[in-house]
Structure 1
């Protein structure tokens, strides 16, 4: 079985593998391309305090938990069943995708108030050239003569932050707002305008 898990940097990811009728065999998690396992049974085999294992006896799920996800954690992880003579049998493959972009800010706002959204993009390996904002899949056009919508960008090392401000909101400003980087990563947030 192959599964995809997507996580933001700094978040916690859980990669799961179901192994029933284990008997005397043990379950290991290994990163594809590594010669040594990350975990064996309930123990971490590498000295990375961000890694732990959780076993759910009811569902027979063995989960590799990675705290404080980093870009370097992205890749393919394999769940292996090991027999006494150290033969491996792969029972699950998980692709961990680390998102380089995260949107945050206002999710509820009253009519007449201001929406503030922030889009944080980490370069991979370089920062993006630009960020495009969308409202319900339509590109938001910034007209300097109209003061209702403003955007500003800051770049620090390989971290790019774009801030969107929409003032004097009305009910039709209720929408999904998306920021998409020139690296083609995107994230969305839903903003609801309340009628006071």
Structure 2
């Protein structure tokens, strides 16, 4: 059979290549790595010093499985299941080992008005299978089981997403929030909960957020324009550092 079967595995999770052989008789099944024609296994014996490779077989069964423990991207490539016949019978498998990573939707830094809800959505990207779990952390502590109250976590395994909602945010809820799916690199976001009525402190709304570099200092800021009243146009601005605001009719600058 000249067709290739596509198999995707995640770094750190065992990769399994399943080869079914019927009426094998006294012949042997071998697994070959095509890029260097290295014989990895014959029967259930391993013929490589790399002990991550192992052939699995149940006596009397017709399935021969090559297991690669803790696969890495370098293990990607074509592997062949071969039967020692003349001419040979083989089945090729194309293995892709990917690095799964988490992504928290939105900006990497959020400004939330005190009393509003914190809404964070995390997606596990390039994960061939739904994660077994997705945990949320704040400063190294698991948020899912926090005693704070007002916290809800909704995880949908099939869509590989998890939503964290913290009701009635308080300044003490400020901090670094991390989404950590099983077998995926984690992702983090910094949340600032601000007291006051600034529209800029809201997570969603008619606002803009950005950051600039001044004198080797990174300043994150968010601003909103209020409704026009006569000839007055209110501007609300929130920054992560103390600053002096200089405003003209067409631009403003921030100075440390």
TM-score tier, shorter chain, comes to 0.5 to 0.7
Q: Equivalent residue for 1:89? A: 89
Q: How does 1:63-74 map to 2 (within 5 A)?
A: 63-74=65-76
What is the SS of the residue equivalent to 2:16?
A: strand
Q: Equivalent residue for 1:122? A: none
What is the SS of the residue equivalent to 1:17?
A: strand
| 2:27 and 2:83 in contact (8 A); partners too | yes
Q: How does 1:42-81 map to 2 (within 5 A)?
A: 42-57=44-59, 59-81=61-83
Q: Equivalent residue for 1:7? A: 9
Higher CA-based Rg: 2
Count of residue pairs the alignment pairs up: 131
Counterparts of 2:108 and 2:41, CA distance in 1: 54
Of 108, 123, 140 in structure 2, the residue corresponding to residue 177 of structure 1 is 123
Per the normalisation by structure 1, the TM-score is 0.56
Of 151, 160, 168 in structure 2, the residue corresponding to residue 189 of structure 1 is 160
Counterparts of 2:124 and 2:13, CA distance in 1: 20
Q: Equivalent residue for 2:150? A: none
Q: What are the Cα deviations for residues 63-108 of structure 1, in whole angstroms up to 9, with x where unaligned?
A: 000101111100011100013x7x5321x211111112323xxxxx
Unaligned runs of at least 5 residues, structure 1: 104-118, 120-132, 135-139, 149-166, 180-185
Unaligned runs of at least 5 residues, structure 2: 128-158, 168-256
> Bigger relative contact order, structure 1 or 2, given CA contacts below 8 A and separation 6+?
1
Counterparts of 1:16 and 1:143, CA distance in 2: 41
Alpha-carbon shift at residue 46 of structure 1 (Å): 1.0
Asked if residue 24 in structure 1 is aligned to residue 23 in structure 2, the reply is no
Check 1:143–1:72 CA distance in 2 against 1; reply closer, same or farther (3 A cut): closer
Alpha-carbon shift at residue 4 of structure 1 (Å): 1.6
| 1:8 and 1:102 in contact (8 A); partners too | no
Q: What are the Cα deviations for residues 39-68 of structure 1, in whole angstroms up to 9, with x where unaligned?
A: 111111111111111113465110000101
What is the SS of the residue equivalent to 1:68?
A: coil
Counterparts of 1:18 and 1:36, CA distance in 2: 21
Of 102, 105, 111 in structure 2, the residue corresponding to residue 147 of structure 1 is 111
Alpha-carbon shift at residue 193 of structure 1 (Å): 4.9
What is the SS of the residue equivalent to 1:72?
A: helix
